[in-house]
Amino acid sequence: MSGVQTLTVDPGESEIRLDRWFKRHFPELAHGRLEKLLRTGQVRVDGKRATAGQRVETGQVIRVPPLGTAPAEPSPPRAVPARDAAMIRALVLYQDEHMLVLNKPAGLAVQGGTGTPRHLDGMLEALQFDAAERPRLVHRLDRDTSGVFVVARTAAAARFLGDAFRDKTVRKVYWALVAGQPKPRRGKIDSPIAKRATAKGERVVEDEEDGQRAVTWYATIENAGKQASWLALMPVTGRTHQLRVHCGSVLSTPIVGDRKYGGSAAFIPDLDEDTPLQLHARSIRVPKPGGGFVEVTAPLPDHMREAWAFFGFGEDDGDPFVEIDS
């Protein structure tokens, strides 16, 4: 490869490390050489110097200097094991020529990484069906969060949907079981957050000075005395761990099962102390490339259904945010 290239980060690549982005696009490039290119400023992201560990974002432009050799031919897609293929196909809630909407289970990572060989991205070939292209990721959902998840079926749809998520024309509502009662019972949280190194490892924390703006509408649907509450949450922004930080730090009602951000306060007597995170992407409204919207709702996963039954909560809540223009 003889000349400088400028490549744009695709929607499905958002939030991966820069060195992993290079591994995907230039697998023949040794990590040591990449580090040297970064140190000497030959690799740049949006015109600025970069580091191997920084996260890239959709739409960013990466300058790739001459590497001396042509990139290796991409490996043929690995066959998805039959068991995983059957599992992921059973998750499909909605399908058209542009997109698929899945009901992602808690515990399944969206993308791979160190120690994460099994992930949704690695199973997308099983969702190609009769399409000419492999499906593409267009947004993220935490490993421990269940619920509605959108996948694009074509490159054109991926661009359209990526723009929709970035421009906040996608409307998402989450359900959460939290410890305690938020006061007031409903409202708007507008609290900046940022990733920081702490004594317990990297965490997302409130940061009024340097944090990115994070906005969440919330409403209490039901509560079990002062012990627990069922919240509906509608994020306007889509920051990493936004809902978990807003519930735990701002409202002082951590999401049940959230060991990372709630600690011991995120557990309720009489509930299993090993209960998974009680956070579910309940519904989504997504614009369609041809006009109109797709609206999809995902049923509660078993671990949350058990908690709902324990507290006597129902499941027919209506929409507490119907009058809010997000």
Known catalytic residues are: 142
- Residue 22, SS3? helix
* Collapsed DSSP state (helix, strand, coil) of residue 130: coil
H or E element in which residue 150 lies: strand 146-152
How many angstroms separate the CA atoms of 81 and 72, rounded? 26
- CA dihedral (22, 27, 29, 32) positive or negative: positive
Contact 282, 174 (CB under 8 A): yes
Neighbours of 253 (CB within 10 A): 26
Run of H or E residues at 232:
strand 228-235
DSSP state of 44: E
